[in-house]
Amino acid sequence: MQYRIESDVLGRVRVPKDAYYGSETQRVVDNFKISGEKISWKMIEAYIIIKKAAAISNMKIGKLDKKRGRAIIMACNEVLSGNLSDQFVTDIFQAGAGTNINMNVNEVLANRAIEMLKGKKGDYRIVHPNDHVNMSQSTNDTFPSAIQISCYLASKNSLLPALRKLETALAKKSREFAKTIKVGRTHLQDAVPMTLGQEFSGYCGAISHAIDFLENNYVALLELPLGGTAVGTGLNAGKRYAAEAVKEINRMTGAKFFITDNRFKIMQGQQSILSISDVLKEAAISISKIANDLRLLTSGPRTGISEITLPAILPGSSIMPGKINPSMAEMMNMVCFEVIGLSHANDIAAESAQLELNVFTPIIAYNLLFSINILSNAINALADRCISGIKTNKKIIEQHLSMDLSIATALTPYISYAKAATIVRTAYLKHKSIKEVCLDMKILDKKTLDRLLDPRREVFGK
């Protein structure tokens, strides 16, 4: 490999000749060979949007000359079109606060802009990563802004549509199963009858709540600390810089971002970012519970509950022929476990902030965008490949219902709780139905028993 030599405050650095990044990024590559995981491309896109907006704003307020500014904007457009994506190379576990990611972006844009101005990579007299690309900025205000922009757009464009798809799929099944009466279960024990539709309406309601929670919280991401520079005071940023920059960000994204009236709160803490982490965690908990229930309800097929059948998507065993597992629900559980765990890591990272800056934002950015991505993809897969194809096992549902002991609850207003409990115990020990025991013990007549013990009466009040 051929190299070029760049210099910084620590000395000379060998950088691959064809690389668009520079000395600081190369030092990160050399020092932080930790996970091989890189920041989400959505975060890079948000950063490029900020850099483009900054260049436009700095030109408008007369800080950046148009020749350099236009070259930076052209470089931004090139990256936003998908080029140079292999040049963003820093490991997610790196020096704190996201400085390395910011400088990686600055160096790539500077070197591409230099080329556009007929210069050679590394000749920062033409376009400098700090002086020109990073003008009016600091990592400390741009990195949290990039997190918020990327998470807002990902939540709006990916997670929210996925949740709505799942809500629609569950609502459809709730309507489809509206008249399918089954045994309810509490403590994993038989309980009074309900409909399968009612059970699924609970799942649908949980997703509706997750949608409301997301919609009520992700708007907090619109409040940006842009222009705060190092500690929130706005040192080296022009008075009109932030306002002009956010106009350009909104033009590029179609969103309604605005500059916060208190940059210090966002740069010191991550309240709005943590609110999204909480949304992801709550959604994951609710969806994981649904996945658990689906696995229970389809358990069997001969010796479990087996009241529903999930679509068979692939063989389930390397040794047992014909075995089919609830694979999509299992996948959903694992994704939810990951999201819940990453949310806890975000809490610790946010709590560990000190004074004017949280240096642990790189893992918060990675965790949030990774969580949004896997949760969105998993929810879409669950809705399309599992929920939409669920079928009922009516014969098994009716068998379970016929032997339901808790149906005796309907008798308590007429014969007392204690006598009903005796009937239940007798029915259990003799493996008989409640109706059979009542007839044996001459508890009420058959016509009355038929009426009181009719599951439709218990469920629908008829």
Catalytic residues: 187, 317
Torsion angle in degrees (nearest 10) through CA of 69, 73, 74, 79:
140
DSSP 207-221: HHHHHHHHHHHGGGG
Q: DSSP state, 184?
A: E
User: Quick count: other Cβ atoms within 10 Å of Cβ 15?
Assistant: 23
Label residue 446 exposed, middle or buried (CB < 10 Å: 0-12, 13-18, 19+): exposed
What is the spatial distance between Cα 158 and Cα 265, in angstroms, rounded to a whole number? 28
Q: DSSP state, 229?
A: T
What is the spatial distance between Cα 79 and Cα 107, in angstroms, rounded to a whole number? 13
Does residue 158 contact residue 375 with C-beta atoms inside 8 Å?
Answer: no
Label residue 226 exposed, middle or buried (CB < 10 Å: 0-12, 13-18, 19+): buried
User: Quick count: other Cβ atoms within 10 Å of Cβ 244?
Assistant: 19
Q: Which residues of 307-331 are buried (b: 16+ CB within 10 A; e: fewer)?
A: bbbbbebeeeeeeeeeebbbbbbeb
**Phi, psi at 192, each rounded to 5°:** -65, 155
DSSP 316-379: --SSSTT----HHHHHHHHHHHHHHHHHHHHHHHHHT-BTTB-TTHHHHHHHHHHHHHHHHHHH
Looking up tokens 């896109």 gives 45
Q: How many CA atoms lie within 13 A of 140 on its CB side?
A: 20
- Copy the structure tokens of residue 173: 């099944």
Q: Which residues of 129-151 are buried (b: 16+ CB within 10 A; e: fewer)?
A: beebbbbbbbbbbbbbbbbbbbb
CA 136 to chain centre: 32
- Copy the structure tokens of residue 186: 């509490």
- Copy the structure tokens of residue 167: 């809500």
Does residue 381 contact residue 287 with C-beta atoms inside 8 Å?
Answer: no
Does residue 266 contact residue 275 with C-beta atoms inside 8 Å?
Answer: no
